[in-house]
Structure 1
Amino acid sequence: MPAILRKKVHGASTRAEVIDGAEDIGVAYQVFSDTVVEDVIVKNSPRGFKFHNGNNLVVRRCETENVKGDGIYLTKTKNVLLENNRMGAAPGEGADCCQFAYQNSDDNISSDVVIRGNLFLQSPTSTSNKGALVCDKTRNYLVEYNFIGGKNFSFSSVGDDAVVRSNIMRDGRMNDYSFGYGIGDKADRTGHHVYDNWIENNNRGISLSGFSDQERAFRKDIDIHDNVINGCDIAFFANRPWSGSFRRNIFMRCGQDMVLSGKGKATAGEIDGNYHNDGSFLNLVAPPLRFNPDGKASVASGEWTSEPDEIVIQWRDKGLDIPDANRPSIAVEPGMELSCVLLARKGRNWMLAIAETAYDEFMPRAWQEKMLPWQKRYLSI
């Protein structure tokens, strides 16, 4: 089928199409609203999907294969759901699997975005000099249950008010500054809540930095916790002033724990209670998370490579610790988004486990294709 190019459309949809060998873009929408694109495959073309100047967009179960440029490219689009897509490696120079761009104009900023269940399969063998996922000046975005590969970086998260949880981010190795999760840019950035991720095989696991030597750009209200950072040269790197916290993360087989520098209008945020693991003590079966008929939620210890010497339970609401909620069960209240983290120790090794329950109406494609090992971690009451 030839390329699909639509302009000034409302309530339109594109479903179950295969676009093979388009001259440029496989699917493009410009000036649109209430649009659904599902089960569409773009292959053997210079670029994949492009969306500009829209509102209420769903892109679900779509794929790219042998697409040289950006898999999905979005500008000036609000209320976006990207769900269970499979974006192949983007080998073109400057290409990403998925990019929210602003093209040097604030008029093109996207907002109110959910990115969940996707596979962004950028690869260390790609000839791209970029990465898998970019949110450039994006506002108010949730990124969860994705597999995010990498080349120069995995996820460049250069926006404001982001929640990033339960993703795999890996293989940012191209340059010495390459990272798994990075908040770059020359400008101030604010409000990143980053938790429950597995960040692996990057030069820098988590980086509060930028693509210049400018040191005054401030990272405000950055809360990073309960992540496993594995096999990175530097687990946590910050050369910008920042506020917030970096706590209860696991450093597993990293060359350096932290490299912190930078001058400016704020001192570094709180750094407390991070732990080491040499790779010998792991969680094998996640702690089961249950909602009981008595109105309480409960958790058990799960299974480990060896019996822990101690386990600390911490219940959370919307990812934030509930004070004094450290018992195996908890009374729930309407409006909660409940989750539970267990911090276990064996000798000198510490490890995290996030409690899980079975997926229900939403099942991440990344999990279905065995690229994401965990199940549902957040229970809405």
Structure 2
Amino acid sequence: MPAILRKKIHGASTRGQVIDGAEDIGVAYQVFSDTVVEDVVVKNSPRGFKFHNGKNLVVRRCETENVNGDGIYLTMTSNVLLENNRVGAAPGQGADCCQFAYENKDSYISSNVVVRGNLFLQRPSSTSNKGALVCGRTRNYLVEYNFIGGKNFSFSSIGDDAVVRSNIMRDGRMNDYSFGYGVGDQVSHGGHHVYDNRIENSNRGVSLSGYSDQNLAFRKDMNIHDNVISECDIAFFANRPWSGSFRRNIFLRCKQGILLKGNGEATAGDVDGNYVNDGSFLNVTPPPLRVKPDGKASVSSGEWTSEPDEIRIQWRNKGIDIPGANRPSITVEAGMELSCVLLARKEQNWMLAIAETAYDDFTPRAWQENMLPWQKRYFSI
């Protein structure tokens, strides 16, 4: 089927199409609203999907295969849901699997974005010099339950007011500054809540950096906790002024835990209560989370490679610790988004596990394709 190019259109949908061998872009929408694109495959084409100047967009269960440039490229969009898409490696030199771009124009910034359940399959063997996912100057975005591969980086998160949770981010290895999760823009950004992720095989697991004068790129309210950072050269790197906290993270077989340089050290927020693990003590079965009819939630310890010497429990609401909620059960309240983290120790090794329950109304494609190992972790009351 030839490329689908639609302009100045509202209330439209594109479903169940295969675009094979487009001359340029497989699917493009420009000036649109209330648009749904589902079950569309673009393959053997220079570029995949492009969306410009639109609102109320859903892109669900779409795929790219053998697409050289950006798989999904969005500018000037708002109220966007990207859900359960499978975006193949983007091998073009400056290509990403998915990019919310702003092209150096404030008017092109995207906002109110949800990215969940996707596979962004950038890989180290790609000839791209970029990564899998970019949120460039994006405002108010939620990124959860995705598999995010990498090359130069995995996820370049250079926006404001972000919640990033329960993703796998990996393979940022191309350069010494490469990272799993990074805030590396030349301007200030703030309001990142990053938790319950697994960040793997990157030169820097989490990086607060940039490419400008250090005094011009403040990272405000960066709260990064309860992540497992695995086999990275440096688990946490910061050389820009920043505030917030970096705590209760696990450094699993990392060469170095924390490296703060220059203003990254002078302005450091709360960097405390992080733990190391040499790989000999792991969680085998996640703790089950149950909500009972009597208005209480409970959690059990799950299974570990060996019996823990101690287990600490912390219940959370919207990812934030509930003070004093450290017992196996808790009384729930309307409006909560409940989750629970268990921190276990065996001798000198610490490991964490997030309590789970079965998926119900939403099942991530990343989990269906065995690229995401956990189930539902956040329970809305």
Give the Cα–Cα distance (whole angstroms) in 2 for the partners of residues 155 and 268 of structure 1. 22
Give the Cα–Cα distance (whole angstroms) in 2 for the partners of residues 36 and 88 of structure 1. 21
- 1:378 is matched by which residue type in structure 2? Y
* Over 6 Å off, 4+ runs: none
C-alpha displacement at 1:293, in angstroms?
1.0
Give the Cα–Cα distance (whole angstroms) in 2 for the partners of residues 131 and 57 of structure 1. 24
1:133 aligns with 2:133: yes
Deviations 1:145-193 (A, max 9, x none): 0000000000000000000000000000000000000001110100000
Q: Is the 8 Å Cα contact of residues 216 and 263 (structure 1) preserved in structure 2? A: no
Give the Cα–Cα distance (whole angstroms) in 2 for the partners of residues 260 and 129 of structure 1. 26
Deviations 1:342-367 (A, max 9, x none): 00000000000000000001000000
1:172 aligns with 2:172: yes
C-alpha displacement at 1:212, in angstroms?
4.0
Give the Cα–Cα distance (whole angstroms) in 1 for the partners of residues 213 and 179 of structure 2. 17
Match of 1:327 in 2: 327
1:113 aligns with 2:88: no
Match of 1:219 in 2: 219
1:229 aligns with 2:226: no
Give the Cα–Cα distance (whole angstroms) in 2 for the partners of residues 272 and 346 of structure 1. 20
1:76 aligns with 2:76: yes
Give the Cα–Cα distance (whole angstroms) in 2 for the partners of residues 37 and 282 of structure 1. 41
Give the Cα–Cα distance (whole angstroms) in 2 for the partners of residues 339 and 188 of structure 1. 30
Provide the secondary structure at the position in 2 that maps to 1:367.
helix
Where do 1:177-192 residues align within 5 Å?
177-192=177-192
C-alpha displacement at 1:34, in angstroms?
0.2
Deviations 1:221-268 (A, max 9, x none): 000000000000000000001000000000011111111023389711
Match of 1:339 in 2: 339
Deviations 1:284-320 (A, max 9, x none): 0000000001100000000000000000000000000
TM-score, normalised to structure 2's length? 0.99
Aligned length: 381
Match of 2:54 in 1: 54
Q: Is the 8 Å Cα contact of residues 238 and 260 (structure 1) preserved in structure 2? A: yes
- 1:69 is matched by which residue type in structure 2? G
Provide the secondary structure at the position in 1 that maps to 2:372.
coil
- 1:304 is matched by which residue type in structure 2? W
Give the Cα–Cα distance (whole angstroms) in 2 for the partners of residues 176 and 216 of structure 1. 22
Give the Cα–Cα distance (whole angstroms) in 1 for the partners of residues 214 and 9 of structure 2. 43
1:238 aligns with 2:238: yes
Where do 1:290-309 residues align within 5 Å?
290-309=290-309
Q: Is the 8 Å Cα contact of residues 243 and 266 (structure 1) preserved in structure 2? A: no
Match of 2:104 in 1: 104
C-alpha displacement at 1:66, in angstroms?
0.1
C-alpha displacement at 1:109, in angstroms?
0.2
Provide the secondary structure at the position in 1 that maps to 2:216.
coil
Match of 1:37 in 2: 37
Structure 1 vs Structure 2 CA RMSD = 1.0
C-alpha displacement at 1:214, in angstroms?
3.6
Provide the secondary structure at the position in 2 that maps to 1:202.
coil
Where do 1:245-284 residues align within 5 Å?
245-263=245-263, 267-284=267-284
User: Identity across aligned pairs (percent)?
Assistant: 83
Provide the secondary structure at the position in 2 that maps to 1:107.
helix
C-alpha displacement at 1:213, in angstroms?
5.3
Provide the secondary structure at the position in 2 that maps to 1:56.
strand
Pick closer, same or farther for the CA change 1:18–1:247 going to 2, 3 Å.
same
Pick closer, same or farther for the CA change 1:189–1:370 going to 2, 3 Å.
same
Give the Cα–Cα distance (whole angstroms) in 2 for the partners of residues 53 and 296 of structure 1. 46
Give the Cα–Cα distance (whole angstroms) in 2 for the partners of residues 12 and 380 of structure 1. 32
Match of 1:15 in 2: 15
Deviations 1:62-120 (A, max 9, x none): 00000000000000000000000000000001000000000000000000000000000
- 1:25 is matched by which residue type in structure 2? I
C-alpha displacement at 1:53, in angstroms?
0.2
Provide the secondary structure at the position in 2 that maps to 1:89.
coil
Give the Cα–Cα distance (whole angstroms) in 2 for the partners of residues 175 and 213 of structure 1. 20
Q: Is the 8 Å Cα contact of residues 186 and 210 (structure 2) preserved in structure 1? A: yes
Match of 1:144 in 2: 144
Give the Cα–Cα distance (whole angstroms) in 2 for the partners of residues 111 and 266 of structure 1. 32
Query: Structure 1: any 5+ residue segments left out of the alignment?
Result: none
- 1:248 is matched by which residue type in structure 2? R
Match of 1:286 in 2: 286
Query: Structure 2: any 5+ residue segments left out of the alignment?
Result: none
Q: Is the 8 Å Cα contact of residues 215 and 262 (structure 1) preserved in structure 2? A: no
C-alpha displacement at 1:57, in angstroms?
0.2
Give the Cα–Cα distance (whole angstroms) in 2 for the partners of residues 126 and 104 of structure 1. 26
1:203 aligns with 2:194: no
Deviations 1:128-155 (A, max 9, x none): 0000000000000000000000000000
